[in-house]
A and B are shown apart, each in its own frame.
Chain A
Amino acid sequence: MAQALGRAMRDAMAEDPTVHVMGEDVGALGGVFRITDGLAKEFGEDRCTDTPLAEAGILGAAVGMAMYGLRPVVEMQFDAFAYPAFEQLISHVAKMRNRTRGAMPLPITIRVPYGGGIGGVEHHSDSSEAYYVATPGLHVVTPATVEDAYGLLRESIASDDPVVFLEPKRLYWSKADWNPDSPAAVPGIGNALVRKAGTSATLITYGPSLPVCLEAAEAAREEGWDLEVVDLRSLVPFDEDTVVASVRRTGRAVVVHEANGFGGPGAELVARIQEKCFHHLEAPVLRVTGFDIPYPPPMLEKHHLPGVDRILDTVARLQWEN
């Protein structure tokens, strides 16, 4: 996936001279995850720029660059490092199109490596998507496959609206049979995908939890459950049609994500499902999420993150009897 993300930026920069990559360490080092490796060498330091270490400054400068017609792609390095940039994000990036009544859209892509599972120490494993999805004016997308990493990042960079691009960092090293010279076309932002068809219940998930859900669906066969797995891919806008169609088909649903449950994206999804699928539901819609705690130390994170067993235990609770 790391290679696909880098390739997406490279191809976008080659096609469009207004695309600029910027952030701490993105130049000579190629980023702490090497996602931007080679970009400074190929396009020069004015197209792939090592900035001072200051997230509000990085995003604030990107706003000005976008005001002048550039397409900045900024890297926030780690989820929790993006917090100093929140005022720029919420007060300016998300609102500029609206407050100027369309005169000044901001085509900025904000890449945020997020989530746990890589043994990162404190402040390196947050799942902050709830903050982003609660802010009107931002698109929020997160790939779970190599194809999506490339396709969704290309579309984000081309978008005239700001996109918070959440990169599941524990999937950076996931491999796939992927040809960078003829990448497969993928459905765009705002489209969910059924990654595995099934009839017994729907698992709704995204980003780092997709492989876990697919594994759980595989294991569930032994229990006699044929699970459908929906990958949201895009949290804003959210593909309600695909989710609703799936849940109406299966009559049962579990939402799975790493972020804290209370006020998390799953709460919104469950609310929508019960609004739209009430008469089709055979059981309450359940959630498997991270606990409502600050992200735990790495030696304990396996207990916090939704795993196959916890998903299967929750699916078993869908045997609902009034």
Chain B
Amino acid sequence: MTVQELPGAGASHRSTPPPAWSPRTDAAPLLPDPEPYRVLGTAAADKLDPELMRRCYTELVRGRRYNAQATALTRQGRLAVYPSTVGQEACEIAAALVLEEQDWLFPSYRDTLAAVARGLDPVQALTLLRGDWHTGYDPREHRIAPLSTPLATQLPHAVGLAHAARLRGDDVVALAMVGDGGTSEGDFHEALNFAAVWQAPVVFLVQNNGFAISVPLAKQTAAPTLAHKAVGYGMPGRLVDGNDVAAMHEVLAEAVQRARSGGGPTLIEAVTYRIEAHTNADDATRYRGDAEVEAWKAHDPVDLLERELTARGLLDEAGIQEAKAAAEVMAASLRERMNAEPVLNPMDLFENVYARQTGRLREQAEMLRAELEAEEQ
């Protein structure tokens, strides 16, 4: 299959252009609705899938506990740094649950919770942040790309992987996650443009949590919404309430389905809020007020779902306690295993730089080996 023949490639991209410039008229409307899409607390909630929502609830509760435990580990010095997703758990959980096993997740450094919800051992997800080794897992085994610290640079990878899978005839969708700050990066633009031109089966999920470290969205972009950026690339853009896990799942599922069926990429902006600081190195009181944080706490993703499910009789006190107990088990295991001192072999520094070690590295390895032996004596 050639690139031109990929399903969904627009007819407007034929090699002979029309004589004069004319706007596309064949495309579906790309502009997002101006208001974030919501399900919880609206009439749309009548069609909730009870099984899926109970699973989301369990994962949300576990995710909140995971955030609390990871933050505590930072205070104890067990983690070098932890970028919290408290308040953003619905985005993380929905992203993980919407994917099939063969699909790929491309997380940013903030998205360890999505990786955990996809099934990765929390200790492996936190290896990078502990300062142990850069990637604590085999990306191919879990179909989770290494956590990307440079902003938006993982987005073109998602496009390339999805494109390669499509060329091979495999049913694979790539879901790439990025923050609002990341949308200002050149790689964000290049990735979206490539994805749209190639009609690659990719979903771009922007978690707009209000701040890129301390810089608010209004200083980040002049676009009406980040979802509007989709228009310029020729892909649908959706604006969704990032604290509403049902809405998140629905919009993501629709985009994943479009990608899977050859309909090309989608840009989703999830409007959410980072309740805690960027990391433990950040003082959030310098750039935002308590009132704003409190207002968002009233729109908490865990509470929203709990209220909805309870009101509909889909969740009772026993169910709530059960979810909390499961979260405690995870937290206890994480705490215990993270308290074990990792054993690192300094000689590993010279492994896996190249398939075949170079002479220079062999020389340097010998130097370190001698230093280590001298230290032991």
Contact = CB atoms under 8 A, between A and B. Distances in A.
Interface of A: 44-46, 49, 51-52, 54, 56-57, 59-70, 72, 84, 87-88, 91-92, 95-105, 136-137, 139, 159-161, 190, 236-238, 240
Nearest to B147: A99
Nearest to A240: B359
Contact of A67 (B2, B160, B355): B160
B188 to A, nearest CB: 10
Contact of B145 (A62, A67, A101, A240): A67
24 contacts: A45-B4, A46-B3, A54-B194, A56-B190, A57-B190, A57-B194, A60-B153, A61-B159, A61-B191, A64-B159, A64-B161, A64-B174, A65-B161, A65-B164, A68-B164, A68-B172, A87-B150, A91-B150, A92-B153, A98-B352, A104-B138, A139-B354, A237-B359, A240-B359
B190 A54 contact: yes
Given A52-B194, A102-B352, 6 more contacts: A46-B1, A46-B2, A57-B156, A60-B155, A61-B160, A99-B135
Given A45-B4, A51-B194, A61 B163 contact: yes
Nearest 10 interchain pairs by C-beta: A64-B160, A60-B156, A57-B190, A61-B160, A99-B134, A64-B161, A68-B164, A64-B157, A237-B358, A65-B164
B162 interface: yes
Given A67-B157, A68-B164, A52 B197 contact: yes
Contacts of A56: 153, 156, 186-187, 190
Nearest to A69: B164
B332 interface: no
Contacts of B359: 237, 240
A96 B133 contact: no
B156 A137 contact: no
Interface of B: 1-4, 133-135, 138-141, 145-146, 150, 153, 155-165, 167-168, 172, 174, 186-187, 190-191, 193-194, 197, 348, 351-355, 358-360
Nearest to B352: A102
A62 B157 CA distance: 7
A87 B185 CA distance: 12
Given A68-B165, A97-B353, A97-B355, A49 B157 contact: no
Contacts, number: 146
Contacts of A91: 150, 153
A64 B162 contact: yes
Contact of A49 (B3, B146, B174): B3
Contacts of A45: 2-4
Given A99-B135, A100-B135, A84 B158 contact: no
A64 B158 contact: yes
A63 B150 CA distance: 15
Given A46-B3, A237-B359, A64 B163 contact: yes
A68 B161 contact: yes
Secondary structure of the B contact surface, majority rule: helix
Contacts of B2: 44-46
A67 B153 contact: no
A54 B158 contact: no
A57 B187 contact: yes
A104 B3 contact: no
Contacts of B165: 68
A48 to B, nearest CB: 10
B162 A237 contact: no
Highest count of chain A CB atoms <10 Å: which of B165, B172, B352:
B352
A288 B168 CA distance: 50
A45 B9 CA distance: 14
A108 to B, nearest CB: 10
Contacts of B191: 57, 60-61
**Most-contacted residue by chain A among B1, B155, B164, B355 (CB, 10 A):** B164
A102 B3 CA distance: 31
B3 A63 contact: no
Given A44-B2, A97-B353, A104-B140, A57 B193 contact: yes
B358 A87 contact: no
Contacts of A100: 134-135, 138-139, 146, 352
Contact of A137 (B141, B161, B193, B353): B353
A17 to B, nearest CB: 10
A216 B3 CA distance: 50
Contacts of B157: 60-61, 63-64, 67, 92
A159 B194 contact: no
Nearest to B170: A68
A155 to B, nearest CB: 12
Contacts of B348: 101
B101 to A, nearest CB: 16
B358 A236 contact: yes
Contacts of A49: 3
Max chain B CB contacts within 10 Å: which of A45, A68, A101, A236?
Answer: A68
B128 to A, nearest CB: 9
Given A67-B161, A104-B139, A237-B359, A97 B156 contact: no
Contacts of A104: 138-140, 146
A157 B72 CA distance: 47
A113 to B, nearest CB: 21
Contact of B187 (A68, A87, A139, A240): A87
Contacts of B160: 60-68, 72
